[in-house]
Structure 1
């Protein structure tokens, strides 16, 4: 079968290539999934650069890349309750391929007519849902979301608005082709604006109330300014680090605001879904599948277009999620 693989640690644009590899074998409790679509995510790039902790480490030779995708069960081993023909989404490993062997406990069944492009991205709305929850915002509160055009941020923005929160999208530069206010943003702050005083702008937008929550995918000086713009008891959830720059704080920036900073690791990074997740997963699947829930898409690529797909995802993640279609 065809798969996108790598034989060494390095920049994804340099080390990934398409190869013929053996079909995966399945054992008891596993399903053979014929892949339909797989998303390209920042986490995939961290794995390729060997930045994830154990046990999420590359194994050579011919390590197949990709962590999130969707497909149809082709065959099932013993003790697999889901039947062949079931459309499933999952977060596991080795998904940038025509087939994947997946332990059944990781599989999330979907309606048979669920859009493939959304099925392969299911981990993103789950993550966005969790980020909004962890931010602690309530109806009427103000939430700032950095990397406003990124997939996670556009999804978090929409989930937050559905909860009645006011969202400020913070972006490196305005993209005229996508107005984030159409997704529900109350305001958009362009960091490229000359002489921008980010703290003053937040005060003006919030009428002096300040931010009750921040979902940060970037880091750098803007993060420090947003933390200093928190209302008392505000929460900061760190989900990524797109910037190589650091931010600076004084203890009083946190202490006198009763503020908290926490890291968020996506729900199924180490462990598969459990029975208690069922209600949340049903709601996320239903809301994410609605036509009025907007999901900007950067492009869809066949596996043999690996160079273009990876280059666009690496260089311009703000232009929408890119997918592989098998």
Structure 2
């Protein structure tokens, strides 16, 4: 089978290559998934650079890249309850390939008509849902989201709209192909053309209420400004670090605002789904499969197009999520 592999730690643009490798053998508790689609995510690049904590470490030689994807069960081990032909998504390993062997506990069954571009990145709607839950907002309160054009942020906005939460989307530059307001943004702050300070603009938007939570995917000085623009008792959820810059705060910026700063870790980063997750996963899948739910794409790529897919994902993430389209359902 064809797979995108790497034999050493390094820049994804330099170490990845398409290679013929054997179709994996499965154990009794595993399934062989014929991959339909796989997403290209910032976390995949962290894995390739060996920046994830244990046990998320590449194994050499011939580590297959990719951590999230979806496909059809071709073969099931002796102890597996899911049947061949089931459409499943998972966050595990080895997804940038034509086939993957996956322990059944990591599988999330999907309706056969669930959009393949969403199935490939089910990590993102799950993350978006959990970020809003972690922010702990009520309907009518204000949420600020950085990297507003990113896949996760776009889904955060749509779920927030579903829950009646007001959203301020912060972007570097507007993208003509993305309508943030239609996705749930009550206001958009385009940083490249902002004439006043961020706090001043936020107070204008919120009628001096301030924001009740921040979901931050970027970091840098903007994060500090957002924290200083919060209503008392707000929460800051750190979900990424696209900016190489740091933000600075004084203790009083936290103490006098009662702010809480927390990190977000994907719920299935270390552990697989449990039976208790079934209801919330069903709700996430149901809402995200509605016709009005938008998932702007940067492009669909074959595995052979790995160089373009990876380079574009790294250099132009604002243009939308890129997906490897591997086979048909």
TM-score for the superposition, normalised by structure 1 = 0.99
Confirm or deny that 1:153 pairs with 2:153.
yes
* Cα distance in 2 for residues equivalent to 1:277 and 1:110: 14
What is the CA-CA distance between 1:182 and the residue it aligns to? 1.4
What is the CA-CA distance between 1:174 and the residue it aligns to? 1.6
What is the CA-CA distance between 1:194 and the residue it aligns to? 5.2
| SS of aligned partner of 1:189 | strand
Confirm or deny that 1:8 pairs with 2:36.
no
Confirm or deny that 1:236 pairs with 2:236.
yes
* Cα distance in 2 for residues equivalent to 1:280 and 1:231: 29
> 1:277 — aligned with what?
277
What is the CA-CA distance between 1:193 and the residue it aligns to? 1.6
213-222 or 194-203, larger mean C-alpha shift: 194-203
> 2:312 — aligned with what?
312
* Cα distance in 2 for residues equivalent to 1:177 and 1:113: 25
* Cα distance in 2 for residues equivalent to 1:157 and 1:229: 19
> 1:78 — aligned with what?
78
RMSD: 0.8
> 2:176 — aligned with what?
176
Matched ranges for 1:1-326 at <5 A:
1-193=1-193, 195-326=195-326
Task: Kindly tell me the number of residue pairs found equivalent between the two proteins.
Answer: 326
* Cα distance in 2 for residues equivalent to 1:196 and 1:101: 53
Deviations 1:169-208 (A, max 9, x none): 0001122332211111011001112544101001111000
TM-score for the superposition, normalised by structure 2 = 0.98
* Cα distance in 1 for residues equivalent to 2:25 and 2:126: 29
What is the CA-CA distance between 1:137 and the residue it aligns to? 1.2
Deviations 1:263-287 (A, max 9, x none): 0000100000001101100000111
| SS of aligned partner of 1:70 | strand
* Cα distance in 1 for residues equivalent to 2:112 and 2:135: 33
| SS of aligned partner of 1:88 | strand
Runs of 4+ in 1 over 4 A off after TM superposition: none
Deviations 1:94-134 (A, max 9, x none): 00000000000000111122221111111110000000111
| SS of aligned partner of 2:148 | coil
| SS of aligned partner of 1:127 | helix
Please, which runs of 5 or more residues in structure 2 have no aligned partner?
A: none
What is the CA-CA distance between 1:295 and the residue it aligns to? 0.8
14-23 or 92-101, larger mean C-alpha shift: 14-23
